[in-house]
Structure 1
Amino acid sequence: MRTHTYDQEAAMFIQMIQGPCSKQDEARQMINTWHQELAPGATGWLGGTHGFTDDGQLIGVIRFDSREAAMANSDRPEQGEWAARLMALMDGPVEFHDCDDVTLLMDGGSDDAGFVQIIRGRVDDPSRLKAMMADTTTLHEMRPDILGGTLAIEDDGSFVETIAFTSEAAAREGEKIEPPPEVRSELAYAMQSATFYDLHQPWFESRA
């Protein structure tokens, strides 16, 4: 797999989709078809992280260099046709989230990750959450299993955090490490209403 870290991307806008999908092979092929056929014409598209949760949710976190680029992609007729085909494979309603406010954790993530966690929650002070993401010295020393991540925040304080790990085994071992009191306090604040989604077999796409 080609190594790709997201700190190579100067600006970022994130679209996140999530919905129930039992036709997982077909959905993955449909997403791969987008990469092969539509990605070359998608100006500003940077890449994406995809996977299925244990309860059959398809989650995709797609990166563009701006909202304008993402909206221009959505307006393409071929994008609309492809999206209709993907939606036909879903088992129920699909959520869409658009986020201009994106913060990178360390290298922002890596296409070499063996395990990814998607964390969804809401905070009343996004600046506090972003400050925690920016202070990575302790985290890097404490959790070498974390390759990086992205934090995407909506206007109401809802957030989608995507964390890339070297492997699930390493992530589970890392979870046993007790963080310092000040870090523990900030984590408790950020994760008080959070839901975690594990992508055991994530796959990635990035612009060459």
Structure 2
Amino acid sequence: MFVQMIQGRTGDPGAVRAQLDKWRDEVAPGADGWLGSTSGVTADGRVVALARFESAEAARRNSERPEQDAWWAGMAACFDGEPEFHDSTWVQANQPGDPDAAGFVQVMQGRTKDLGRGRELMSSDGDVDWNEYRPDILGTLMINYDDDGWAMAIYFTSEADARAGEQKPPPPEMAEAMAELETLAIGETEYFDLTDPWLLSP
């Protein structure tokens, strides 16, 4: 799988949503190899979008389509300044439920001193039964990019359920992994709360 993450700022969330609707209606039908996307705008105007493709080649083919070019011209105008792009061929998806049914999505983003060890820790759930421990989590999507960057989208049934679930103490093995992850962090982790996520799949 290949994921492209796009992020930036906007003063017009409505225009962003209109462009996303336009992509769904006019571009998505011919996007060969497109697997889905997660998009939204935070309360303070930060835009984040994660587009999933079967491969980097499929994403490249889509970017070369004239329909995509025309659409992006309109989307780029919605940003205040230049948006950032992060491409990832290391992708891990976990779906204990249906992520497209999520009512709230939180995207975390940060940097790490040891990408390999971070992957091991994030990939290790031990024997945790997610449906029992956190039934509010419908899925996760994690990517790595550059030499030290990572991002993770967590799909929740609702924001209220997510906040309640945060109060549950993690299992011991998970708590140990989380503590080690903190020691590997470079700087602060950034959080994007998408209270009105726009979720698409073919």
Match of 2:195 among 200, 203, 208: 200
Task: Give the letter aligned to residue 188 of structure 1.
Answer: A
Partner in structure 1 of residue 106 of structure 2? 117
User: Is residue 16–residue 96 contact of structure 1 (8 Å, CA) maintained in 2?
Assistant: yes
Deviation at 1:157, TM superposition (A): 2.4
Q: How far apart are the structure 2 equivalents of 1:108 and 1:24? A: 28
Q: Which runs of 5+ in 1 are unaligned?
A: 1-11
Deviation digits for residues 145-165 of structure 1, max 9, x if unmatched? 111111111141211101001
Q: Is the 8 A contact 2:121 2:181 kept in 1?
A: no
Deviation at 1:78, TM superposition (A): 2.1
CA distance in structure 2 between the aligned counterparts of 1:18 and 1:189, rounded to whole angstroms: 28
Q: Which residue of 1 aligns with 2:128?
A: 138
1:23 aligned to 2:35? no
Give the match's secondary structure for 1:138.
coil
Partner of 1:161: 152
Superposed CA deviations along residues 34-72 of structure 1, whole A, max 9, x for unmatched, are 111111111101110111112101111110010000111
In percent, how many aligned pairs have the same letter? 44
Q: Secondary structure at the match of 1:194?
A: strand
1:144 CA drift (Å):
1.5
> Which residue of 1 is the match for residue 52 of structure 2?
63
CA distance 1:128–1:139, shift in 2 (3 Å): farther
Which amino acid in the other structure matches residue 21 of structure 2? N
Q: Which residue of 1 aligns with 2:179?
A: 188
In structure 2, C-alpha distance between the alignment counterparts of 1:139 and 1:123, rounded to whole Å = 27
Give the conservation status (yes or no) of the 8 Å contact 1:152–1:160: yes
Give the SS at the match of 2:128: helix
Distance in 2 separating the partners of 1:149 and 1:197 = 14
Kept in 2, the 8 Å contact 1:109–1:150? The answer is no
- For 2:98 and 2:181, the matched residues in 1 are separated by 20
How far 1:184 moved relative to its partner? Answer: 1.9
**What secondary structure sits across from 1:111 in the alignment?**
helix
TM-score between the two structures when normalised by the length of structure 1: 0.87
Aligned to 1:201, the other structure's residue is in SS state coil
Question: TM-score if structure 2 supplies the norm length?
Answer: 0.89
Number of corresponding residues: 196
Q: CA deviation at 1:139?
A: 5.7
Local SS of the residue matching 2:32: coil
The C-alpha deviation readout for 1:20-41, integer Å capped at 9, x for no partner, is 1121112111111111111111
Q: Distance in 1 between matches of 2:60 and 2:109?
A: 23
Q: Note the residue ranges of structure 2 that are not aligned, 5 or more in a row.
A: none
Paired residues of 2:115 and 2:147 also in contact (CA < 8 A): no
